[in-house]
C-alpha cells in the first residue's frame, strides 16, 4: 500500500465523535423561551433562545471539535466569538469540547486563590450579595465550579456570543451558594472584547475560564481597565502556560510544543504570553495580582479528553509548521495508541490569575 503524507487539515480532522448537548439533558426540556435574553432565576429559568438551539449539532466522525484544535470547514456552526469577525471565521469553542474538558478544568483550578477572593468580597461595602460577571461563559462550567464555593446570595451575569451555549449555561446553573443562599442568573449576548466599566457597574467580581490566551494585548488592557473602573476583582483561570509534559517522553515533544505555541500567537493573540500581559495590565491599573498554577493532569481515566487534546495539539502544530506533517502523523498515531492502552500521562500547564483592583467604594484592599 502506498504511503500518503497527512496534511495539516487531515491531522486536525482525525477525531472521534463526542456526544453533543452539554449540560443536564433533563433540564433542557423544561426551559421556556421568551426571546428577551433574560434569565430571571436558576430555579425557575427563562432563557433566550433562537433556531440555533434547535439546530442539528451532530459532529461528523472526521470533524475536529472546535476549541481542541484548528477547524476549517465553513459548514460547522459558530459558537463563542470574542469579537466582531467575518462570516468565514471558524468557531472557537464547540459545546462538545467544553463538556469534555469540564472535569479536568474543575480539578485544575486553584483553590488557594479563593481565600483572598472571599476576603475581598466580604469587604465590599453596601452589598447584600455578589454580582458576578462570567465572560465567555460557554456552557457555564465556571459558575458550576465557583458558585458553590462562595457564601452569600449571588447573581451571575453570563456573557457569550452564542445563544445555544447561553441556554445550557442557564439551565445548568447552580441553585445555591456554599451557605445555601440563593443563586440567580441572567444572560447577555455580546462581545466580551468590548467590555467597558459601564457594563460592570455594580459588579462584585469578573470571572473567565480559558479566555486570556485568546485575547490580544489591547483586549486584555481593556478588560483590566474595565475592572479597575468598576473597582471589582477578576478571577481568570486556566490560561495556557506554553508547557506540556508527556510520559513517556518523545524526541518530537519539544518541536510540537514550540509549533503549537507559535500557532497560539497567530493574529496578535497572546497565547502563552497572556498571563504576563495580564499581570502588566492589571498592575498598571493599580491592582494586586496573585498567580497560581492550574495544570491538567491527564492519565488513563481521562483518555477521551487526552485523545481529543492530542489531535488538536498536533493538528495546530502542523498547521503552523507544515514541514512537520510526516513525522507528526507517526507521532500522533503512537501517542494515540499509548493513550488508548492507558500508557500515556500528560500534564498541560495553565495558570490562574486573581487581580484585586482597588475598590471604588472605600473598602480595604
pLDDT in tens, 15-36: 333 333 333 333 333 233 223 3
* 308-345 per-position pLDDT tens digit: 999 999 999 999 999 999 999 999 999 999 999 999 99
Backbone angles phi, psi at 154, to 5 degrees: -135, 140
- What's the rounded Cα separation, in Å, for the pair 183 and 178? 10
The pLDDT of 235-245, averaged and rounded, is 97
- What's the rounded Cα separation, in Å, for the pair 335 and 316? 16
DSSP string computed for 103-124: HHHHHHS-STTHHHHHHHHHH-
Whole-model pTM? 0.79
* 270-279 per-position pLDDT tens digit: 999 999 999 9
Say what percent of the chain tops pLDDT 90: 62
Count of CB atoms situated within 10 Å of the CB of 77: 14
Question: How confident is the model at residue 161, as a pLDDT?
Answer: 86
Backbone angles phi, psi at 120, to 5 degrees: -65, -45
The confidence band for 201, taking pLDDT boundaries of 50, 70 and 90, is confident
Residue 346: strand, helix, or coil: strand
* End-to-end Cα, the chain, rounded Å: 68
Backbone angles phi, psi at 268, to 5 degrees: 80, 5
Cβ density class 252-276: b for 16+ within 10 Å, e for less: beebbbebbbebbbeeebbbbbbbe
Which residues make Cβ contacts (< 8 Å) with residue 320, sequence separation at least 6? 259, 260, 262, 263, 266
- What's the rounded Cα separation, in Å, for the pair 260 and 314? 7
Q: Which three cell numbers stand for residue 17?
A: 465523535
Q: Where are the alpha helices (DSSP H) in 109-252?
A: 114-123, 141-146, 163-171, 217-230
pLDDT(175) > 60: yes
Cβ density class 295-327: b for 16+ within 10 Å, e for less: bbebeeebbebbbbbbbbbbbbbbbbbeebbee
Evaluate whether 328 touches 307 at the Cβ level (below 8 Å).
no
* 96-126 per-position pLDDT tens digit: 888 999 999 999 999 999 999 999 998 876 6
pLDDT(43) > 70: no
Average pLDDT, the chain: 79
Across the chain, the runs of DSSP E, i.e. the strands, are: 32-33, 46-47, 130-135, 154-160, 183-189, 205-209, 234-247, 288-293, 296-298, 345-356
Q: What is the largest CA-CA distance in the chain?
A: 74
- What's the rounded Cα separation, in Å, for the pair 10 and 325? 10
The segment with the largest mean pLDDT, out of 27-41, 163-177, 182-196, is 163-177
β-strands 234-247, 154-160 pairing: unpaired
The pLDDT of 141-155, averaged and rounded, is 96
Length of the chain: 365
Strand partners, 239: 351
- What's the rounded Cα separation, in Å, for the pair 232 and 27? 32
Question: How confident is the model at residue 299, as a pLDDT?
Answer: 96
Amino acid at each position: 500500500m502506498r504511503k500518503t503524507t497527512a496534511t495539516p487539515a487531515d491531522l486536525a480532522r482525525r477525531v472521534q465523535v463526542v456526544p453533543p448537548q452539554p449540560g443536564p439533558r433533563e433540564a433542557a426540556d423544561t426551559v421556556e423561551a421568551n426571546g428577551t435574553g433574560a434569565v430571571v432565576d436558576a430555579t425557575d429559568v427563562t432563557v433566550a433562545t433562537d433556531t440555533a438551539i434547535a439546530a442539528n449539532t451532530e459532529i461528523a466522525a472526521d470533524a475536529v471539535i472546535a476549541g481542541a484544535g484548528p477547524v476549517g470547514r465553513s459548514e460547522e456552526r459558530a459558537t463563542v466569538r470574542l469579537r466582531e469577525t467575518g462570516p468565514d471565521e471558524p468557531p472557537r469553542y464547540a459545546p462538545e469540547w467544553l463538556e469534555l474538558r469540564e472535569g479536568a478544568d474543575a480539578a485544575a483550578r486553584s483553590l488557594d486563590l479563593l481565600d483572598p477572593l472571599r476576603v475581598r468580597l466580604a469587604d465590599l461595602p453596601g452589598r447584600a450579595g455578589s454580582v458576578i460577571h462570567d465572560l465567555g461563559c460557554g456552557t457555564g462550567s465556571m459558575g458550576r465550579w465557583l458558585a458553590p464555593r462562595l457564601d452569600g446570595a449571588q447573581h451571575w451575569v453570563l456573557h457569550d456570543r452564542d445563544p445555544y451555549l447561553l441556554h445550557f449555561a442557564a439551565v445548568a446553573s447552580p441553585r445555591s451558594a456554599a451557605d445555601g443562599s440563593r443563586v440567580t442568573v441572567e444572560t447577555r449576548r455580546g462581545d466580551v472584547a468590548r467590555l467597558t466599566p459601564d457594563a460592570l457597574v455594580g459588579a462584585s467580581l469578573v470571572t473567565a475560564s480559558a479566555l486570556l490566551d485568546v485575547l490580544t494585548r489591547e483586549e486584555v488592557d481593556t478588560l483590566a481597565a474595565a475592572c479597575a473602573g468598576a473597582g471589582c476583582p477578576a478571577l481568570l483561570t486556566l490560561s495556557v502556560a506554553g508547557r506540556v509534559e508527556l510520559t513517556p517522553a518523545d524526541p518530537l515533544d519539544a518541536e510540537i510544543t514550540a509549533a503549537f505555541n507559535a500557532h497560539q500567537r497567530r493574529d496578535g493573540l497572546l497565547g502563552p504570553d497572556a498571563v504576563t500581559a495580564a499581570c502588566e495590565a492589571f498592575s498598571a491599573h493599580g491592582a494586586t495580582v496573585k498567580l497560581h498554577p492550574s495544570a491538567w493532569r491527564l492519565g488513563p481515566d481521562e483518555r477521551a479528553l487526552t485523545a481529543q487534546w492530542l489531535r488538536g495539539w498536533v493538528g495546530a502544530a502542523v498547521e503552523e509548521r507544515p514541514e512537520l506533517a510526516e513525522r507528526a502523523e507517526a507521532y500522533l498515531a503512537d501517542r494515540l495508541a499509548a493513550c488508548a492502552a492507558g500508557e500515556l500521562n500528560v500534564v498541560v500547564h495553565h495558570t490562574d490569575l486573581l487581580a484585586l483592583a482597588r475598590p471604588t467604594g472605600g473598602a480595604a484592599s
